[in-house]
Amino acid sequence: MPIYSLVLTSPPAAPALSDFAVERAWSLISAPQRRTDQWLAPREAWLAEFATNEDGATAALKAAVRRALNGLTIDVNVVAGDAAARRKKLLVADMDSTIIQQECIDEMADMLGLRTRIAAITERAMRGELDFAAALRERLGLLAGLTEADLAKVYSERITAMPGARALVATMRRHGAFTALVSGGFNFFTSRVRAATGFDVDHSNTLETASGRLTGRIIGPILGREAKLACLERYAAERGLTSAETLAVGDGANDLDMIRAAGLGVAYRAKPVVAAEAAAGIVHGDLTALLYLQGYRRDEFAE
């Protein structure tokens, strides 16, 4: 009979889990289905294993627990696989608004007083309302003339890692996973974020410059949703991994294909179109929640 895990997580900075909350969740799993439960971190993360082959049982349980805990800052997820299968061997992550807290192109736009105009296009593209490549070209055209010094200032003064990003990458790498940062953004930023957060590799778009200034164009094909999926498939194939052994995380529509294809696809503080289709979602917690979804305990984290 297939094994699943009900995982409850809450923000490390303000943990909201209580004995009452986990007892309420446990009570919603029928007694014949229950296996084991454990605290992964006091008041922060709890996991319960259960077995079922009933159609729709996992979705029904997740919905019931969410209703029972409504109003609390707790993320409720159900993931497939027993303890041996939960820990993934490949992580592919989006960068903007996922591994970092900002959208780099919006911060670049702010240097020219164009944040409101460009951020509106970014939001629509991430919601899947605009073609990603066309929206990127339009925004970049407006940013022609920015200097490499401007980009360096954006990175040093405005870009910050998402809480839990370094712990997520370091912990998975310590346990043998390969980690790839894959972005529809720009290599000026992904190369620096990769180094700062510890990813093995990064892939993104290359900005064209002339005399030290942006021309408003990309060199080569634009890295979009198809390329993100291709990276997931490539690194899995190179390592002889099944899709079940992979994890993908992102927030925008251009992340959706890789999120759907991964063994564990996570919508992280995501746009509605992504949250609606991802197998797992994190709204309240930080990126360490992705470790809890894999069954890691807090004392196993690499900080």
pLDDT in tens, 249-283: 999 999 999 999 999 999 999 999 999 999 999 99
**C-beta separation of 9 from 45 below 8 A:** yes
* DSSP string across 102-159: S-HHHHHHHTTT-HHHHHHHHHHHHTTSS-HHHHHHHHHHHTTT-BHHHHHHHHHHH-
Q: What are the φ/ψ torsions at residue 151 (nearest 5 degrees)?
A: -65, -40
- Percent helix, percent strand, percent coil in the chain, to nearest 5: 40, 25, 35
**C-beta separation of 20 from 8 below 8 A:** no
In degrees to the nearest 10, what's the CA dihedral of 144, 145, 151, 152?
Answer: 160
Q: How far apart are CA 235 and CA 292, in angstroms?
A: 23
Q: Which domains does the chain have, with CATH numbers?
A: 1-86 (3.30.70.260), 87-303 (3.40.50.1000)
Angle subtended by helix axes 132-142 and 115-126, to nearest 10: 170
Catalogue the active-site residues: 94, 96
pLDDT in tens, the chain (303 residues): 899 999 999 999 999 999 999 999 999 999 999 999 999 999 999 999 999 999 899 999 999 999 999 999 999 999 998 777 899 999 999 999 999 999 999 999 998 999 999 999 999 989 999 899 999 999 999 999 999 999 999 999 999 999 999 999 999 999 999 999 999 999 999 999 999 999 999 999 999 999 999 999 999 999 999 999 999 999 999 999 999 999 999 999 999 999 999 999 999 999 999 999 999 999 999 999 999 999 999 999 997
CB atoms within 10 A of CB 298: 16
How much is the pTM?
Answer: 0.96
Per DSSP, 183 falls in state E
- The tokens for 23 are 């007892």
Cα separation values, 117 from 39, 143, 218, Å: 46, 12, 20
Q: How many CA atoms lie within 13 A of 167 on its CB side?
A: 18
- The tokens for 70 are 């409504």
User: Which residues partner with 181 through β-bridges?
Assistant: 93, 202
* DSSP string across 27-62: HTS-GGGEEEEEEEETTTEEEEEEE---TTHHHHHH
Per-residue buried b or exposed e for 209-244, using 16+ beta carbons within 10 Å of the residue's own CB: beeeebbbebeeeebbbebbbebbeebbeeeebeee
**C-beta separation of 76 from 66 below 8 A:** yes
pLDDT in tens, 218-253: 999 999 999 999 999 999 999 999 999 999 999 999
Helices (H), 219-281: 225-238, 256-261, 272-275
Q: Which 3 state secondary structure label does DSSP give 272?
A: helix
Angle subtended by helix axes 165-174 and 187-197, to nearest 10: 60
